[in-house]
Amino acid sequence: MAKANSQPLPWLVAASRLAPSTHRRLFWLFIFAVAMAQLEASVVVYLRALYYPAGFAFPIKVIPGHIAWVEIARESATLIMILSVAWLTTRDPWRRFAAFLFVFGIWDIFYYAWLWVMLAWPPSFFTEDILFLTPMPWVGPVWAPLLISCCMVISSVTIFSLRDRYRKIRVHRWEWTVVLLSAMSLVGIFMWPASTVLDGGMPPGFPWLLFLLVLAPAVTVCVRTWNRAERPRHPSRLFP
pLDDT of residue 3: 45
The answer to whether residue 31 is domain-embedded is yes
The answer to whether residue 12 is domain-embedded is no
pLDDT of residue 1: 43
The answer to whether residue 15 is domain-embedded is no
Q: Provide Rg for the chain, Cα atoms.
A: 20
pLDDT of residue 202: 92
Omega before residue 232 within 30° of 0, cis: no
Considering only the C-alpha atoms of the chain, give the largest distance between any 2 of them, rounded to a whole number of Å. 73
The answer to whether residue 234 is domain-embedded is no
Report how far residue 115's alpha carbon sits from residue 234's, in angstroms, rounded to the nearest whole number.
48
Report how far residue 97's alpha carbon sits from residue 199's, in angstroms, rounded to the nearest whole number.
38
Residues of the chain with pLDDT under 50: 1-7, 11, 233, 235-240
Q: pTM for this one?
A: 0.87
Report how far residue 206's alpha carbon sits from residue 126's, in angstroms, rounded to the nearest whole number.
10
AA identity, residue 185: S
Report how far residue 154's alpha carbon sits from residue 132's, in angstroms, rounded to the nearest whole number.
23
Q: Tell me the residue range of the domain where 110 lies.
A: 21-228
What is the percentage of the chain residues whose pLDDT exceeds 70?
89
Per residue in 34-47, pLDDT (tens digit) is 999 999 999 999 98
The answer to whether residue 236 is domain-embedded is no
Count the domains in the chain. Answer: 1
